[in-house]
Every structure is written in structure tokens, then in C-alpha cells.
Amino acid sequence: MSWLSLTFKVGSDYVDSVSDQLLEQGALSVDVHDAGEGTDQEQPLFGEPGAFPEQFWRQAEVTVLLEENTDVDEIVQAVARVMGISALPDYQLTQVVEQDWVRLTQAQFEPIKISSRLWVVPSWHDLPDPAAINLRLDPGLAFGTGSHPTTQLCLGWLDEFLQPGDSVLDYGCGSGILAIAALKLGADRVMGVDIDPNAITASLENSRNNLCDPDKLLFTTALSFSGGSDHADTRQRPVSVVVANILANPLIVLAPVLMNALQPGGRIVLSGILETQADEVLQIYSEWFDMQIAAKDQGWVLLAGRKSVNRTL
């Protein structure tokens, strides 16, 4: 079995109407992306929270998946009518042959060596080093397979600096990879927080697959701390280590929240920050933390520091 892939360019004013028409004509899927992607004409569109991007790229490239027996001329003519042009738009047509998509997807993910003792290994792979700490993580609905530089920066810091008995908050836990790593590396209690319920579902599944102790590892969408009350759930007390791999803008907004979640003298680790954004984040966090750039990788930075004992909100 095979399908047809039809690709053409369209101005931003027609993206919605053309996409709707294609779906009405029986398209199996419609993918819209920047026509200038990978060139000096590339147009960033989706920014961080707090930004206000344009709705579409000025010039979009549309890729349509069609049944093999589809009348392509009829599809292209319908697109021309929607765009109000008499000449048919230029297009490329290719055949998509059926393949083992699961196997192809799995082939993209290989075991990742973080250090001599820490690996991230997809479930379908044999363990490269059975004696190491192996995190079993598969691609899923949440961010965090271990392949992104920001995740590797955080894992590297945990591997090098986490102390046995530490308590850890993983804010924006995604797949739960950092929280699970912290527990495996010797943390006494760990909390993973994420506003996305799908992330919590993925984190819980990954924690079970990694045989984590549920009494020491908590995942939740709500963050609240008791200020260290002896009568509070120990998992809700301020922690000795906070790690947050998100984005620069949310990290700036969350600075007071993360400060309150950390014990005096505790350590904080921030990633998801581009080198060009590091100074701004450092300036915000310097009100409560002695911070510095601890590591860099492919244009991303890891900021790490310690909470000053005498500084509070």
C-alpha cells in the first residue's frame, strides 16, 4: 500500500481556507510549515509564553497526504479556486510507500551516555552497561527523552553534584526523566511538578517502568510548601535542590516560586535557556541566589547556584 504526498506554497491569507478545502476533498492530513525553513528567509513564529507571534508564516509550504488513487489535478484545481488564481500553482508530487513506521521511529532513538555511570536507554534496546544507572525512557506525550541538550545538561549536573539524601523538586517535569534520575542517583525524596496532566501521566508510567519507590517520588500538577512544618507531609516541605528545565520567560516569572520551594543554602539548576538569554535570567535570580553559568551545549546554557541564607521574598 502507498500514498501520495502533494507539496505547494501558499500565502498566509489562504492557509486556513486552503487547508479546509483540502480536508473536504478527502486529504488524509495537511501539514503547514515555513516555506523558508532552513534558509536566511526562515521566519520564527511560535515564541515562548508571553510572546505574541503572527498567526502564520508569510509564505507557507503545505504538504498534503492523499490516497493513492486520488485525482491530483482535481485537488490542485480546487486549491487554485480557493486562492482566486487562474493558473495552477506549482507543486511537487511524491509517492509514500508503506513502511514499518514503528521500527523506523525506534531507529531514531539510541541509548544516550550521560556519564560513565548514567545512561538513558529506550525500552526496546539492550542495556549498553547493565552495571550503570539506566533510565528507561521512551518517546511519548511529554518532553524529555534525554536527547535534547538542555535535558543532558541537567542530567550531567545531577550526576556530578547531587548528594545522597538530597530532596529534589523537578519543576516542569515533562516525562519525569530528571526526577527519576535524581531518585536513582540517591535523592531521599523527589517531587515532579507539571501543569500538563499528560506529563504527569507519562511521568507516572516512566517511574513504574524504572521501578521507582512511590513513597519517595511524587508527581503532581499542584505545588505547595508548608514552610518546613514538622506536621506536614515531608514531600511538601522545601527541598535542598530545585531543577527546572523549561524556557527563559517562564523561569523569569517563576523565580519567586522556585525561591520559596528551596531551603536556605539549597542549590538551584536552571536550563532551557539560550546563551543570549542567560544574562537576563541571571539578573532576575541574583536577588535570591548566587548564580553562574555552569555549562553550555549547542547554544544552550545551564545556570546553577545556591540560595543565600539571609535572602527571602
Sign for the CA dihedral angle at 16, 22, 28, 33 comes to negative
Question: Which residues contribute to the annotated binding site?
Answer: 151, 172, 194, 245
Helix (H) or strand (E) holding 8: strand 2-11
| Cell numbers standing for residue 276 | 543570549
Comparing CA positions, the residue from 146, 220, 218 lying closest to residue 178 is 146
**Per-residue three-class SS string for 26-78:** CCCEEEEEECCCCCCCCCCCCCCCCCCCCCCCCEEEEEEEEECCCCHHHHHHH
Decide: 246 and 258 in contact? Cβ < 8 Å: no
Comparing CA positions, the residue from 312, 313, 274, 266 lying closest to residue 293 is 274
Question: Which residues contribute to the annotated binding site for S-adenosyl-L-methionine?
Answer: 151, 172, 194, 245
State the Cα–Cα distance between residues 90 and 6, nearest whole angstrom. Answer: 10
Residues 6+ away with beta carbon under 8 Å from 262: 169, 238, 239, 240, 241, 242, 268, 307
Comparing CA positions, the residue from 48, 68, 67, 53 lying closest to residue 252 is 48
